[in-house]
Chain A
């Protein structure tokens, strides 16, 4: 019975369009794929350090459920990929938080929430030579998530700073 439940859960997770998009490019060598499991965030939140930046984001990190990143920085079809990924986002489940279009750069951020809690944040960046898809899950504090951009050494994560700019 337990196996049945586990099987059903994994099947529903795999049906998720964004997950399928990640899986589609997981083996493509043009892309860099990173997955950080919730356990690492939980462990990282326990680290005692004098680093001021780190201490500021400890509370954000503690509640993060996972991070998936798909990055490509030497491609020629970045905008086309951006448009494909854009069409996969189920707009009935996500609400758009931010849209930026600056010349050839496209940035979109969506959130998925239940009540006042944001459960998922999706960041999509498309430039002619670059593509970034970043997905945070867990309990996300929008006021503090932008501070993560400073410590995350991931291409495209700097776009999270825009959330703070837009909110004020």
Chain B
């Protein structure tokens, strides 16, 4: 009996840990019509990192423990009830809201979980006329590493045409969820 209880607790904790990354949104909507759901496991980031030229970037990619992308070409199917539930659960699990921006029909919301000067999880919710979705990245990133990446992408963007553009991301092998 004791073993059965232990097994149940272990199962319950595993299920919770698996769903904790995006608090159910990914799992609920990944099979919706028109959804593009991509899950990048740790081994894939390790393999993908070897294709990155710069050593510092390679190191950063290797730090990704798991990444998930859920993309819809049409308007966001996330219901306001689910989004409220997401915010409630994320607060409870230590995910802090960092930035919220709305410009015209584009909405971006960035949340992160941090400890001292490391970021352990980043969740980005976005919706615009071109598409909507969710990106979650789990890992252990130092703030100065992220800052270096932002500075680098700004410089690269400025070099091209004077304005800031987002540089192309390295190709990483993925598995479809």
Q: A43-B143, A47-B143 are in contact. Are A34 and B100 (CB under 8 A)?
A: yes
Contact A39 B96 (CB under 8 A): yes
Q: Quick check: which of A25-33, A100-108, A110-118, A141-149 contacts chain B, the rest being far away?
A: A25-33
Give Cα distance in the complex from A37 to B98, angstroms.
5
- Report how far A99 CA is from B136 CA in the complex, Å: 45
Could you say which of B104, B105, B117 contacts A46, with CB atoms under 8 Å apart? B117
Q: Are A47 and B147 in contact (CB under 8 A)?
A: yes
Contact yes or no, A35 B144, CB < 8 A: no
Which of B96, B100, B103, B151 is in CB contact (< 8 Å) with A35?
A: B100
A residues in contact with B169, CB < 8 Å: none
CB < 8 Å A-B pair total = 48
Number of interface residues of A (CB under 8 A): 16
**Cβ of B114 and Cβ of A36 under 8 Å apart?**
no
Residues of B within 8 A of A29 (CB): 104-105
Residues of chain A with a CB closer than 8 A to B144's CB:
47-49
B57 on interface, CB distance cutoff 8 Å: no
B96: A residues at CB distance < 8 A: 37, 39
- Are A43 and B101 in contact, with the CB atoms below 8 A? no
Closest A residue to B100 by CB, please name it: A35
A39 to B102, Cβ gap below 8 A?
no
A75 CB-CB contact with B under 8 Å: no
Contact code string B80-118 (vs A, CB < 8 Å = 1, else 0): 000000000000000011111111110000001010110
- How far apart are B69's CB and chain A's nearest CB, in angstroms? 23
B114 and A43 contacting across the interface, CB-CB below 8 Å? yes
Which one of A26, A35, A43 has the highest number of Cβ atoms from chain B below 10 Å of its Cβ? A43
Complex Cα distance A49/B154, Å? 15
Contact A34–B101 (Cβ < 8 Å):
yes
**A37-B96, A39-B96, A43-B114 are known contacts. Are A32 and B143 too (CB-CB below 8 A)?**
no
Complex-state Cα separation, A73 to B177, whole angstroms: 43
Chain A residues in 8 Å Cβ range of B100: 33-35, 37
A154 to B5, alpha carbons, bound, how many Å? 56
A-B contact pairs, 14 of them (CB 8 A): A32-B101, A32-B103, A33-B100, A33-B102, A34-B101, A36-B98, A37-B98, A39-B98, A39-B112, A40-B98, A43-B114, A46-B116, A47-B147, A49-B147
Taking A34-B99, A36-B99, A49-B147 as known contacts, 8 extra A-B pairs with beta carbons closer than 8 A to each other, sorted by chain A number, are: A32-B104, A33-B100, A34-B100, A37-B97, A39-B97, A43-B143, A47-B143, A47-B144
Using CB atoms and an 8 Å cutoff, list the residues of chain B in contact with chain A. Answer: 96-105, 112, 114, 116-117, 119, 143-144, 147, 151
